[in-house]
Structure formats: structure tokens, C-alpha cells
Amino acid sequence: MATLNLPVANGGLAPFTTSTPRDFPTRANRPFNRIAYSAVHVVADPRSESDPWLEAAIDWDATINYRLGLYDLGLGVAEAMDTAQRGMGLDWSASQELIRRSLEAARHIPGARIACGAGTDHLQPSSDLRLDDVIRAYEEQIAFVEGQGGRIILMASRALAACAKSPDDYAQVYDRILGQVREPVLIHWLGEMFDPALAGYWGHGDHMQAMDVCLDVLAANAAKIDGIKISLLDKDKEIAMRRRLPDGVRMYTGDDFNYAELIAGDAVGYSDALLGIFDAIAPAAAAALGAFAAGDEDTFHDILAPTVPLSRHIFQAPTRFYKTGVVFMAWLNGHQDHFVMVGGQQSARSLSHLAELFRLADTAGLLRDPDMAANRMRTILAMHGVEG
């Protein structure tokens, strides 16, 4: 096993020796008894001449190949979501190409589960917007996804958050949109910890009051809704909402802090999953879900328990920079040959953050080739002037 010097809390360095990784299967051996989507990252093209702050240059082969690996593991793909840097480097134009290519690849995979984000991110948020502007923006993106044969994840709208004057405005927009969709959609309530521009969504700064508004929308449109993904990083709020959902509407956990217990559920119910952390811990997630489907809840928790500290670290405040940790994990594990992100977001986390991520990933058994991961970590250390 490799030993390298990593930064520690006092500003110094301490030796760290990698351990033997856990032997997770590379293919699912049984259907899961929970629906599980991974919100997936995109791989940048580091050789592009485009300015990374202004234009998203994507390595399409590497991006699609990563999704094919998730299908092998039995996981679904939540495409063009915030994990793909939607609104943080990936604009609507690039998202359209991503959705088109991803749906085309999925058509050749038996049983592939994929849903795609449709929002309003091509519309500049402003308090001067009208609700009809927001509705037309949603309609444009929905028409594109449905025209490609895709299923909709209805993303929260920065534009709506900027111009809505009351909870009734949210209800009006969602009622209009949900009345038009072809198939039941997944609704995404993304909390302000993930995107500060979404503070006060559903017309209330208090999450519980906002939940009442959201539940009214779900009840009024239940036939057009498969489920709701909430990303509030608060298990009690998710459970409270889960117990109030209309019949037939699923809860998809977006809680990257408490996913294991929320997926396992309680005597009243459980959450399915649509998680950004499932990108970074995909082999462990698939192995745990396979064990759970086989009735082995102890192994489910044994596998996921050490991934939770890793996830909480990746998603620590400012939470919106979690994408950096997700892509760093992909690079450490050889899923891409560089640590470059669209929008230059590889610089969004500190060296000490990345060093702790490395340690926690090793503890979780998720560095599939520890020597390769250590060599790549040394590269990052050297770029920061640290001898590893």
C-alpha cells in the first residue's frame, strides 16, 4: 500500500497509508427493491481552446462511458441536474446536447432508467419577469426533453424564485406545467444550501410552511407526478413530508447526509433515492442496495456507514461546491484522466478539503486502485507546493 504525506488540521503534514479497497461487484446481480438514481457529473475536455469560465467544453466519450458503468451497477441516471454543474458551468445549450447523447446511449441498454432535468436556466432571473415568462421557459425545456423521448425531472426555477410574489404564484406555474406533461414527472425541491438563489422557494423562508404549499401542489396534480426529490439535508423534514405525500407519489431522498437510514425506512415508509453522492460512491451504493434487496440489512448498513462521513465532507458548506469532490473522486478512481471541470470549478475546494476526502474515501474502501489514487493525490499536492 502507498504512503504519502497529507495536510492536517494544524497546517502541517502527516503520513497516511492507504488500505485495501473493498471488493464491490462491477455489475448488479439482482433487481433492487428501491428505485435509485445517481445524479451524474460531466467530464470536461481539458484540451479545448474554449475559455472554461465562459463555455462548457465536454469530453463526450468519457461523460457517456461513465453513465454506462452506472447502468451496469443497476443504478439509474439523473441527467443534466445540479451534479452536472447545471447553472454552475453547464448552460442550457450544452445541457441539450448532454441530454440528447445520454438518451441515445440509454436506448441501447436493456432496462436503463434515465430521467432528465428540465428547468428555466436559459431565462435570466429577475424580479421584472412575469409568470408567463417562467411558464414558457419551462415549456421550452420540457418540449425538448419529451421530443428526445426523455422523462422529466422538473427542476426548481431561479427565475420563479426571483419573480414570485406569493405561494399562489408557485401553484399557478406548477399547475400550468403539470397539466401539460406527457408522463408523470419527478419534482425537485432544491434547498438554498445547494443554491442560494432558491431561498424562499414555494413562497416561504420557513421550510415547513413551504412544505405545505408544495404538498398542495402535489395533491392537486398527483396523477402527473411520479415523486418528489427534496434536497434539504434534514432527515426529519423529509420523513415528515414523506408521511404526508398523496397516494402514488414517491419520496426520492436527496439527503446526502442521511441517505442510508432514509432508504432503509421505518415502519411507516421509506424513500427511494436520487442522489449526487451516488455518483461518487456508485460501487458501494449498488452493493448495498443489492444486499438490501436480498434481505441483508446488516450488510446494507455495513457498506454504507463509512460512506456517510465521506458524503458529509463532500457536501459540507458551501454545499454548492460538492461537485468538486464528486469529480475528484472520479479522477482518483481512474474514470477520467484529469481533474479539470467545466467552469474551472476544480478550484472550488481547498487542498486540505481534498486531502480529507482522500482519507475518507480510503476508509470507505472506495479507492479501487490505491496506488493510482495515491499517485494522483501526489500530483495535486505538488501543484500546491507540497511534497507528498
When pLDDT is cut at 50, 70 and 90, the band that residue 370 belongs to is very high
Which parts of 222-314 fold into alpha helices (H)? 235-242, 259-264, 277-280, 282-293, 297-304, 307-314
| pLDDT for 234 beyond 90 | yes
| pLDDT for 50 beyond 90 | no
Of the candidates 284, 279, 371, 362, the residue with the CA atom closest to the CA atom of residue 322: 279
196: how many CB neighbours lie within 10 A of its CB?
A: 12
Domains and CATH numbers, the chain: 30-294 (3.20.20.70)
| pLDDT for 221 beyond 80 | yes
CA-based radius of gyration for the chain: 20
Which parts of the chain fold into alpha helices (H)? 60-72, 92-106, 131-147, 158-163, 167-178, 207-220, 235-242, 259-264, 277-280, 282-293, 297-304, 307-314, 322-332, 351-363, 370-383
Map grid coordinates 407526478 to a residue.
Answer: 225
Of the candidates 318, 338, 323, the residue with the CA atom closest to the CA atom of residue 90: 323
pLDDT of residue 53: 85
* SS3 at position 6: strand
pLDDT of residue 9: 85
pLDDT of residue 1: 81
82: how many CB neighbours lie within 10 A of its CB?
A: 25
pLDDT of residue 388: 64
